[in-house]
Structure 1
Amino acid sequence: MADTKKIGDLDVFPLALGGNVFGWTADRDRSFEILDAYAGAGGTFLDTADQYSAWVDGNRGGESETIIGDWTTARRNRDDLVIASKGGRHPDHQGLSAPTMRAAVDASLTRLRTDRIDLYYTHFDDPSVPVEEIMTTLDELVTAGKIRQIAVSNIELDRLEASLEFSEREGTARYVAIQPHYNLVSRDTYEGERRAIAERHGLAAVPYYGLASGFLTGKYRPGANVDSVRAGGAAKHLDTERGRKVLAALDIVAEEQDKAVATIALAWLAAQPTVAAPIASARTLEQLPPLVDVDDTVLTGDQLQRLTDASA
């Protein structure tokens, strides 16, 4: 069993289970099965958002949080978990003004059936709101005990720097984590100045799209017909030299390790500087074991370099 990772004062399992599929491609019963299996494998770190899954016909947003809240209540395991959620995109609570954020957090707490959110991200920045207002409001929510730690996802670099500088100058709660788009076929979305800021300020990274919408599971091959709502976004990587090189390298390392391709892709990500835990989701029970197996997978220096070179 691998060691837990630190995000602020939170101890997290090295694979965050993505809740974006709950209430979308996984119904309530299937979601409960996946959550049970994840917890049974030692998993403790759940990632969701108030927006999930407002894009589905008939949904209003908050479906994922509601399923997670119902599950933790049924299993009586809330204190065993680190629950991360994100705000700012729910149809009823758009943006990051102080009144909107307060209402969004209260709504998330109600759906999650809990008195605190362990890690709360601003899902997307709201440039119409000064960073001073955003950080002050988050600090108030931390002081009130509704949030334990704060984090940030999609934001421009100047606004990120300004937010961190404000917290340090004013002594407010500060971001402890960043959730970037980052994987073997999308490295420049994080590597470079964004990661440098994270390193300078001690932010842990919790990357989303860790498997590139399923491409890095290895199931997308020339001529393969994959039944998935994400198939179009994933299959496009087959048309790139980088995508084909990465798949070839993953195949080699997976055979050496006797592991699934998805496990190797996540293990590479987990080994990168600043990364605490990649996010990956499972819409079936069969998809889950390769994800949690990252907890028990250590790549050699040569294997890491092979994957890094292939994805350059």
Structure 2
Amino acid sequence: MEKVELGKSGLKSAPIIFGGNVFGWTLNEKESFKILDELFELGFNTIDTADVYSRWANGVPHGTSERIIGKWMKERKLRDKITLITKGGSSLQPGGPKNNTRDYLTGAVKDSLLRLQTDYIDLYFTHFDDGETPVEEALEAYQKFRENREIKHIGASNFSSERLQKALDIANEKKILAYEVFQPEYNLMVRYKFEGEIEEICTKNNLGVTPYFSLASGFLTGKYRKKEDFEGKERKMFADKFLNNRGEKILKSLDKISEKHGISQAGVALAWLMNRPGVSAPIASATKSSHLKSFTEAVKVSLSNEDMEVLNKAGETE
């Protein structure tokens, strides 16, 4: 499978990154290993996780996703074949304050290395900007880990355009480790969080872009078209807000393109992201073997300019 470059970082990734938020949440360890095995066999080598993943699951502690991934890599002896991404800086308690201080991030990185059973992390993200800590404090903390070869590259996620630009400017001024990849929420349903100022900053600075919620928490799979479809589903809290006129219009456009190419709506939604300006590789999750089919569909399909225009117009206004 042809790899893509994540901006100027030099990191190479599969064209779709697997989102590890499902590990320890909707998938137990055995089920997670099965999906990871199948994912690797298909040629997808990049996995994204975070120290907080599984924190919201009943009785499942934070860091469970990292523990599962670490155990899988060790048992399969695949660490050197995986591009590993994790994040820190978000609260370990749902709804709690973010923390980008040097001491907090130093502890977070060390804990993640232990859970992942690895000596290094390929790409480490500041998960959320706390809005208060000087941006250079996080960068200086990461610089130490870079010097120790425990972090290879760093990225920012969920930053405002002002704080992202400030972090880039200060890194340049102080000649310290700089963010090389940005991770926004971005999909056909949610476009405003990336398009515009953030996109311009990423393009100007040659930042890799790895969008999360690429399928709008499952809404863009086309499986959820009325409120009853969400009943009893974990995704209800994230995706039932998309059940509106705009959502219906977007689903109809996905139906049209998926029928034309003979692939799933999810495959089309991922392909749309892969073809958007500035995007390096979208992040998507799967809980069943059949869900991985949309990954290979997205990689293989060739969307025409007309296809892209149909999708673009459907999702224009919010």
Q: TM-score higher than 0.5 here?
A: yes
* Percent of aligned positions that are identical: 39
How much has 1:60 moved relative to structure 2? 2.3
How much has 1:289 moved relative to structure 2? 1.5
Q: How big is each residue's C-alpha offset from its partner over 1:222-266, in whole Å with a ceiling of 9 and x where there is no partner?
A: 475345201343233222x22111111111110111111000001
Q: Does 1:181 align with 2:211?
A: no
Query: TM-score if structure 2 supplies the norm length?
Result: 0.94
**What letter matches 1:190 in structure 2?**
F
Cα-Cα RMSD: 1.6
**Which residue of 1 is the match for residue 45 of structure 2?**
44
**Which residue of 1 is the match for residue 111 of structure 2?**
107
How much has 1:291 moved relative to structure 2? 2.6
Alpha-carbon separation, structure 2, partners of 1:272 and 1:94: 30
Q: Does 1:23 align with 2:24?
A: yes
CA contact (8 A) 1:61 1:90 kept: no
**Which residue of 1 is the match for residue 64 of structure 2?**
63
CA distance 1:213–1:66, change in 2 (3 Å): same
Alpha-carbon separation, structure 2, partners of 1:197 and 1:292: 30
Written as runs of structure 1 = structure 2, the 5 A alignment for 1:27-176 is 27-89=28-90, 91=92, 95-176=99-180
**What letter matches 1:304 in structure 2?**
M
CA contact (8 A) 2:223 2:229 kept: no
Query: TM-score if structure 1 supplies the norm length?
Result: 0.95
Alpha-carbon separation, structure 1, partners of 2:226 and 2:62: 36
How much has 1:151 moved relative to structure 2? 0.1
Structure 2: which 5+ residue stretches go unaligned? Answer: none
**Which residue of 1 is the match for residue 294 of structure 2?**
290
Alpha-carbon separation, structure 2, partners of 1:220 and 1:94: 32
Q: How big is each residue's C-alpha offset from its partner over 1:142-176, in whole Å with a ceiling of 9 and x where there is no partner?
A: 11111111000011221111100011112111111
Corresponding residue SS for 1:295? helix
**Which residue of 2 is the match for residue 237 of structure 1?**
242
CA distance 1:165–1:36, change in 2 (3 Å): same
Alpha-carbon separation, structure 1, partners of 2:177 and 2:293: 36
**Which residue of 1 is the match for residue 277 of structure 2?**
273
Q: Which moved more, 1:83-92 or 1:96-105?
A: 83-92
Q: How many residues align?
A: 310
**Which residue of 1 is the match for residue 211 of structure 2?**
207
How much has 1:12 moved relative to structure 2? 0.1
**What letter matches 2:223 in structure 1?**
K
Alpha-carbon separation, structure 2, partners of 1:86 and 1:201: 21
**Which residue of 2 is the match for residue 6 of structure 1?**
5
